[in-house]
């Protein structure tokens, strides 16, 4: 909403300069030194200077706003209300009787028309300001006649506080610069410092009388009922997201105090989405939140090393992850559930669905492989070393060499699993698990996985995370971070995992954080839209122009929010808290030097850090 202000005073001729109402009409019932009631609770002593007032706790200086912009929007006083220093803002309002307003409008409109005609008769250039004032006067008169609005006298006053006169001077300059940026003319209350101070006190008394005429729409836009700062529900795990882009306030958010604990972070490449996500992970660790990460690009290694987390680089030389491991404390059907998962895993290895006959053969061979290692349905045997994939192929080979009807099926399955058991793809399954996925931070790196086994390694990581999340013996706040989620969306198993976790994570006291640079993967599929709909926390960083319209439709962005996301710097974005109502805040992610060192992925910074560390090691080497 844009409301005209600039021509109102000229239109009505109701106000001249500060303290001097037009037409001899008093704007308030006080003289220059009014006998204000209710001042008995004031300071014990004060010193009145020409432009300042010395109080027992500091000094202050007051200003009256005498010039306004021609048009204003809703909440245009926000920059003054959110000024980082101590600034008192006072808005005094008095209604003008409709009969008086109508008479003065007619009188002023006649003056403007007369002046315009006189200029035309004398051949002078048109006074465009007078023409605009005449148009505004006609619109106001029509609005008043229809009863669509009223006129009000409003006065806006500011009082700046500081501890000493030197600091006050700097604060005054900053406030006047802020007012000038809003096209407001802030004039000091020279020789009326006491009256300026009392005017900004909550006494409902205007001792200055510097009024301007507002209509209903302009006055409604001036009401200070909005703020750029969020007022979210904060529980036990508030996290500092950064600083508010429009105020000096901090943006604190607690995902575990929202309707659900999920979040989605969308941004173009290089906008700082992984940087922001790692900051939140680090700060949630301070709150004793267990975090598991699917890391496609091995970006969480330094963070894991610094906080003594568990980093599992799937596909790296010497790293094994045995799918036959039995989780502890999962219930009496643990062995059966593991056998069922192995059928799903082997189906992914074979890259095709298993037939009923193949499932029956696999089930028999899997249980036989466990029995060969002394593991059976007795929970007391589940602590024994589990078999590996070669144990399963051995059982299939033995079954294939028998005279059983399913011998051919068993031999075929063994042959097709040979590349993963003894061939080129065996490295991940060659032995027992080298690193258990336990600890307060567990990161599964997928960067070293070949494309041929990436789906299988991803399925192993997702299964380990799901077992941890659903463990009834270890209930606590958890967060599952899926960085570069578009890599999972391409795989059926990964897509199903995201869908299942987004739907049921809250029941297990867990949240899902989906981070992706390809918004189309989420917005163009039913599964992706379901993930967004089940995310009470939505973070939008810088967006590409090609995707901004699609994102604006999905998240109901205003034109201003679209412009913000198109021009945002790295780490700047918009927090949309749908779980706490419709709260939104533009923020800039902030990190301490140590946090920045842990979470940055800038190649130049990392190279400089490595070089400085090597130089320091050489200097400290006694040899």
Q: What value does the mean pLDDT take over residues 42-62?
A: 88
Model confidence, pTM: 0.66
d(C-alpha 496, C-alpha 393), whole Å: 28
pLDDT at 20 over 60: no
The two tokens of residue 136 are 């505004």
Which stretches of 240-300 are DSSP H helices?
273-286
Going from the C-alpha of 518 to that of each of 265, 266, 428, 532, 553, the distances in angstroms are 10, 7, 30, 14, 16
Confirm if 58 and 155 have CB atoms less than 8 A apart: no
The pLDDT, as a whole number, for residue 160 is 96
CB atoms within 10 A of CB 318: 9
CA distance linking residue 265 with residue 485, whole number of Å: 10
Of the pLDDT bands very low, low, confident and very high (cuts 50, 70, 90), residue 103 is confident
Q: Pick from 478, 477, 436, 445: which is nearest to 328 by CA?
A: 436
- What the chain holds in terms of domains, given with CATH numbers, is 2-30+44-222 (no CATH), 260-316+436-604 (3.40.50.300), 334-428 (1.10.8.730)
pLDDT of residue 145: 66
d(CA 27, CA 14): 10
pLDDT at 22: 34
The structure tokens listed for 106 are: 């007619």
Query: Model confidence over 383-410: pLDDT tens digits?
Result: 899 999 999 999 999 998 888 888 899 9
Mean pLDDT confidence for 257-273? 90
Highest mean pLDDT among 212-226, 267-281, 478-492: 267-281
- Say yes or no to pLDDT of 583 above 80: no
48: Cβ contacts below 8 Å, ≥ 6 apart: 54, 193, 194
pLDDT for the residue numbered 179: 92
40 has pLDDT over 60: no
The token pair that represents 250 in the structure block: 């901090």
Distance between CA atoms of residues 254 and 238, nearest Å? 4
- The DSSP-derived string for 399-466 is HHTSSSTTHHHHHHHHHHHHHHHTSTTGGGGSSS-SS---SSEEEEE-TTS-HHHHHHHHHHHHHHHH
| Better-scored residue on pLDDT, 270 or 283 | 283
Place of tokens 């696999």: 362
Q: Strand pairing of 239-244 and 441-445?
A: unpaired
d(C-alpha 351, C-alpha 456), whole Å: 10
Distance (Å, whole) CA 510 – CA 262 = 8
Q: Quick one: average pLDDT of 451-459?
A: 85
36 has pLDDT over 60:
no
Rounded mean pLDDT of 249-262?
89
pLDDT over 70, % of the chain: 86
pLDDT of residue 12: 38
Q: Is 226 or 576 the better-scoring residue by pLDDT?
A: 576
Across 188-207, average pLDDT: 93
CB 259 within 8 A of CB 536: yes
At 147, the pLDDT band (50, 70, 90 cuts) reads low
Which two tokens mark 380? 């007391």
Count of CB atoms within 10 A of residue 465's CB? 23
Lowest mean pLDDT among 363-377, 425-439, 454-468, 566-580: 566-580
**Mean pLDDT value across residues 196-204:** 92
For the record, the structure tokens of 214 come out as 């507002």
For residue 237, give Cα distances in angstroms to 256, 280, 348: 7, 11, 38
Report whether pLDDT(231) > 90. Answer: no
CA angle 364/366/372 to nearest 5° reads 100
CA–CA distances in Å: residue 341 to residues 172, 434, 466, 467: 69, 20, 12, 11
Q: Which residues pair with 215 in a beta bridge?
A: 151
In a 13 Å sphere around the CA of 260, the CA atoms on its Cβ side amount to 22
Compute the mean pLDDT over every residue in the chain, rounded to the nearest whole number: 83
């Amino acid at each position: 909403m844009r409301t005209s202000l600039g021509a109102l005073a000229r239109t009505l001729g109701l106000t001249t300069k500060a303290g001097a109402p037009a037409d001899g009409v008093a704007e308030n019932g006080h003289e220059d030194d009014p006998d204000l009631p209710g001042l008995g609770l004031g300071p014990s002593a004060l010193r009145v200077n020409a432009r300042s007032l010395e109080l027992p706790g500091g000094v202050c200086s007051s200003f009256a706003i005498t010039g306004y912009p021609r048009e204003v929007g809703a909440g245009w006083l926000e920059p003054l209300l959110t000024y980082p220093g101590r600034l008192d803002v006072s808005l005094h309002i008095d209604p003008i009787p409709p009969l008086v307003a109508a008479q003065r409008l007619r009188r002023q409109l006649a003056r403007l028309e007369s002046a315009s005609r006189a200029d035309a008769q004398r051949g002078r250039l048109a006074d465009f300001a007078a023409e605009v004032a005449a148009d505004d006067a006609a619109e106001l008169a029509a609005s008043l006649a229809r009863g669509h609005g009223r006129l009000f006298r409003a006065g806006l006053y500011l009082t700046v506080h500081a501890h000493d006169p030197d600091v006050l001077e700097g604060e005054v300059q900053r406030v006047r610069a802020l007012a000038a940026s809003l096209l407001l003319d802030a004039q000091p209350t020279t020789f009326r410092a006491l009256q300026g101070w009392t005017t900004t006190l909550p006494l409902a008394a205007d001792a200055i009388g510097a009024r301007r005429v507002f209509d209903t729409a302009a006055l409604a836009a001036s009401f200070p009922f909005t703020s750029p700062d969020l007022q979210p529900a904060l529980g036990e795990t508030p996290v500092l997201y950064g600083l508010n882009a429009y105020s000096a306030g901090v943006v604190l958010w607690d995902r575990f105090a929202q309707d659900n604990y999920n979040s989605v972070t969308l941004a173009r490449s290089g906008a700082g989405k992984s940087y922001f996500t790692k900051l939140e992970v680090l700060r949630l660790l301070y709150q004793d939140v267990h975090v598991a990460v699917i890391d496609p690009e091995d970006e969480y290694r330094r963070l894991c090393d610094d906080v003594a987390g568990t980093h599992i680089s799937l596909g790296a030389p010497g790293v094994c992850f045995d799918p036959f491991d039995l989780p502890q404390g999962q219930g009496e059907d643990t062995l059966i559930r593991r056998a069922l998962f192995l059928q799903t895993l082997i189906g992914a290895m074979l890259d095709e669905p298993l037939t009923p006959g193949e499932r029956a053969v696999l089930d028999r061979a899997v249980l036989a492989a466990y029995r060969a290692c002394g593991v059976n349905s007795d929970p007391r045997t589940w602590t024994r070393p589990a078999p590996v994939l070669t144990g399963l192929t051995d059982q299939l080979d033995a079954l294939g060499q028998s005279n059983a009807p399913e011998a051919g099926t068993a031999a075929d399955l063994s042959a097709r699993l040979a590349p993963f058991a003894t061939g080129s793809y065996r490295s991940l399954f060659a032995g027992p698990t080298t690193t258990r996925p336990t600890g307060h931070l567990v990161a599964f790196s997928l960067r070293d996985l070949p494309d041929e086994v990436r789906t299988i390694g991803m399925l192993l990581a997702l299964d380990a995370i799901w077992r941890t999340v659903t463990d009834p013996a270890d209930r606590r706040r958890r967060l599952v971070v899926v960085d570069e989620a578009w890599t999972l969306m391409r795989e059926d198993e990964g897509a199903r995992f995201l869908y299942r976790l987004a739907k049921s994570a809250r029941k297990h006291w867990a949240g899902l954080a989906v981070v992706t640079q390809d918004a189309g993967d989420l917005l163009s599929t039913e599964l992706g839209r379901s993930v967004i709909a089940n995310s009470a926390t939505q973070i939008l960083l810088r967006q590409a122009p090609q995707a901004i319209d699609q994102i604006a439709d999905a998240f109901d962005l205003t034109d201003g929010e679209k412009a913000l996301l198109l021009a945002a710097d790295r780490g700047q974005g918009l927090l949309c808290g749908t779980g706490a109502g419709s709260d939104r805040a533009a923020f800039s992610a902030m990190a301490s030097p140590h946090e920045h060192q842990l979470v940055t992925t800038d190649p130049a910074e990392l190279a400089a850090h490595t070089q400085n560390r090597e130089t320091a090691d050489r200097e400290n080497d006694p040899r």
